[in-house]
């Protein structure tokens, strides 16, 4: 996420860190590079101008220049201003004290609006809320069917349009149903277009006037930079947005939308879509994102992601197996699948402080760890359950079959088995040295 921008800013600020003396000329030179890095990331020019001036004003102050660590002080100022640029504080959706809370999803076609509506439904259901999804897009073919499929996956009720109903009628009917069912959250998936037109806005305005939603959430493609910001301005002008959800943030988005949209619209980013899975939705924390952009990691988000993905019981079970030398290849396969649920390795590594130094050791192939994980998974999947539980039965012919099935070589299969034995020894030593349930206490404290 924002990898290119992060690398550039880290390189610029690295020149300032650890400096015992810092001149105004050196600060100005660094800020010129920061300005270029932000503009190349497609951040709105007025946002860049104001950001750089605020940093300059604070960085050349007497308190910083005469500090024992002026370089570190400048980095702290950049972090503070980045956080402020993105809204300073986390602004989650507040549920109404008089349910149901109605969330109206708006945005262009193709940004992931329907999937995001389902992700929000999953989020609230996981909190024990009764959720109703509403397919209010009567224009796009199969829009209702798509939401119905997602609803079945989540085991959440979906209300779709009946023959001849317009979007406002669908929404009002859904509210009536929600009242009878006692639903706490109603999520309206409205229509989009390939571009903004007055017919779309008129339809959304009518829904807003009839339904009076508690939140109007714009779903925007985080990869599109300033065009997402321009689109957000137009939606906000006519509808009065209360928040923004940026999708497709798991890739190396340039950063323009993320760093510009709050300052331009005045509305907070509430969530980030970080993958295709229905669990791939994260609350947005400006302070944590500022740390990630500056290469400081985001351990809190990593722990929260682990808590939502891994179970406390499975963590304890794994720790007991490690301590009692009962770890098998089946356990290793299960743990690899759990890690994959947390996101790509690149995304996980990005959340760990100091990862930029680790990346330097990967040379020209930063995707090597991800490929290695896929290779190991292919080998494990080519084994039978009995072989994974009892690897001692893996003779020469079995290893040849596994190599053919996984598209690898016998040497690679042998190497994995050797590494597994080394892993068991190492983890047993670590397990005996730590206090009981240490894994559980870390992830589920």
Stronger pLDDT, 296 or 191, i.e. the higher one: 191
Q: How far apart are CA 22 and CA 24, in angstroms?
A: 7
The three-state secondary structure class of 186 is strand
> How confident is the model at residue 325, as a pLDDT?
57
Does the pLDDT of residue 145 top 60, yes or no? yes
> CB–CB of 229/261 below 8 Å?
yes
Does the pLDDT of residue 437 top 60, yes or no? no
Q: Give the global pTM.
A: 0.71
Residue with tokens 């960085």: 59
329-359 pLDDT tens trace: 887 787 777 766 666 555 665 555 555 554 5
Among candidate residues 404, 403, 425, the one with its CA nearest the CA of residue 416: 403
370-389 pLDDT tens trace: 677 788 889 999 999 999 98
Residues whose CB is less than 8 angstroms from the CB of residue 51 and which lie 6 or more positions away in sequence, other chains included: 38, 81, 82, 85
With left for phi above 0 and alpha for psi between -120 and 50, is residue 110 left, alpha or beta?
A: left
> CB–CB of 256/226 below 8 Å?
yes
> How confident is the model at residue 442, as a pLDDT?
39
Q: What is the dihedral of CA 36, 42, 45, 47, to 10 degrees?
A: -100
Stronger pLDDT, 227 or 71, i.e. the higher one: 227
> How confident is the model at residue 115, as a pLDDT?
93
Q: Read off φ and ψ for residue 297, nearest 5 degrees.
A: 80, 180
> How confident is the model at residue 203, as a pLDDT?
92
The three-state secondary structure class of 57 is helix
285-325 pLDDT tens trace: 898 888 888 876 555 555 555 555 555 555 555 556 555 55
Does the pLDDT of residue 76 top 60, yes or no? yes
Residues whose CB is less than 8 angstroms from the CB of residue 224 and which lie 6 or more positions away in sequence, other chains included: 256, 257
> How confident is the model at residue 441, as a pLDDT?
45
Among candidate residues 208, 214, 162, 204, the one with its CA nearest the CA of residue 184: 214
Does the pLDDT of residue 150 top 60, yes or no? yes
Give percent above pLDDT 70 in the chain.
78
Q: How far apart are CA 209 and CA 167, in angstroms?
A: 12
Among candidate residues 203, 208, 200, the one with its CA nearest the CA of residue 104: 208
Stronger pLDDT, 71 or 369, i.e. the higher one: 71
The three-state secondary structure class of 383 is coil
Residues whose CB is less than 8 angstroms from the CB of residue 193 and which lie 6 or more positions away in sequence, other chains included: 108, 109, 200
19-58 pLDDT tens trace: 667 788 888 888 999 999 999 888 888 899 999 999 988 8
> How confident is the model at residue 362, as a pLDDT?
47
Rounded to 10 deg, the angle between the 410-433 and 329-341 helix axes is 80
> Domains of the chain (ranges plus CATH)?
3-85 (1.20.120.140), 101-285 (3.40.50.300), 302-443 (1.10.260.30)
Structure tokens belonging to residue 106: 């708006």
Degrees, nearest 5: CA angle 295-299-304? 140
> How confident is the model at residue 369, as a pLDDT?
62
């Amino acid at each position: 996420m924002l990898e290119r921008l992060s690398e550039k800013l880290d390189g610029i600020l690295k020149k300032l860190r650890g400096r015992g003396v810092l001149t105004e000329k050196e600060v100005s030179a660094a800020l010129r590079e920061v300005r270029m890095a932000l503009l190349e990331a497609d951040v709105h020019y007025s946002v860049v101008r104001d950001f750089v001036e605020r940093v300059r004003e604070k960085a050349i102050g007497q308190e910083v220049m005469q500090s024992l660590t002026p370089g570190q002080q400048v980095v702290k100022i950049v972090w503070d201003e980045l956080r402020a640029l993105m809204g300073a504080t986390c602004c989650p959706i507040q549920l109404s004290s008089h349910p149901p809370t109605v969330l109206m999803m708006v945005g262009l076609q193709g940004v992931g609006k329907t999937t995001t509506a389902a992700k929000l439904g999953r989020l609230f259901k996981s909190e024990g809320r009764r959720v109703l999804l509403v397919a209010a897009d009567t224009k796009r073919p199969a829009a209702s069917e798509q939401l119905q499929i997602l609803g079945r996956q989540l085991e959440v009720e979906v209300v779709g349009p009946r023959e001849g109903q317009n979007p406002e009628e669908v929404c009002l009917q859904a509210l009536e149903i929600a009242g009878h069912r006692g639903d706490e959250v109603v999520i309206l998936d409205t229509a989009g277009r390939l571009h903004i037109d007055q017919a779309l806005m008129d339809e959304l305005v009518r829904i807003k006037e009839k339904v009076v939603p508690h939140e109007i959430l714009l779903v925007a493609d985080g990869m599109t930079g300033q065009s997402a910001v321009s689109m957000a301005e137009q939606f906000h002008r006519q509808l009065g947005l209360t928040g923004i959800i940026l999708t497709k943030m798991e890739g190396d988005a340039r950063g323009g939308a993320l760093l510009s949209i709050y300052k331009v619209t005045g509305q907070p980013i509430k969530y980030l879509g970080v993958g295709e899975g229905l669990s791939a939705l994260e609350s947005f924390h400006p302070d944590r994102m500022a740390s990630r952009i500056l290469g400081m990691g985001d351990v809190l988000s990593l722990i929260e992601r682990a808590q939502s993905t891994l179970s406390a019981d499975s963590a304890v079970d794994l720790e007991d197996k490690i301590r009692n030398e009962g770890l098998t290849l089946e356990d290793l396969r299960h743990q690899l699948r759990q890690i994959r649920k947390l996101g790509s390795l690149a995304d996980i590594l990005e959340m760990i402080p100091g990862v930029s130094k680790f990346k330097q050791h990967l040379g020209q192939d930063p995707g090597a760890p991800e490929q290695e994980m896929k290779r190991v998974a292919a080998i494990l999947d080519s084994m039978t359950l009995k072989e994974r539980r009892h690897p001692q039965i893996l003779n020469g012919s079995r290893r040849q079959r596994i190599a053919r099935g996984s598209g690898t070589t016998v040497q690679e299969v042998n190497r994995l088995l050797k590494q597994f034995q080394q892993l068991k020894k190492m983890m047993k030593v670590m397990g005996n040295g730590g206090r009981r349930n240490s894994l559980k206490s870390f992830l589920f404290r």
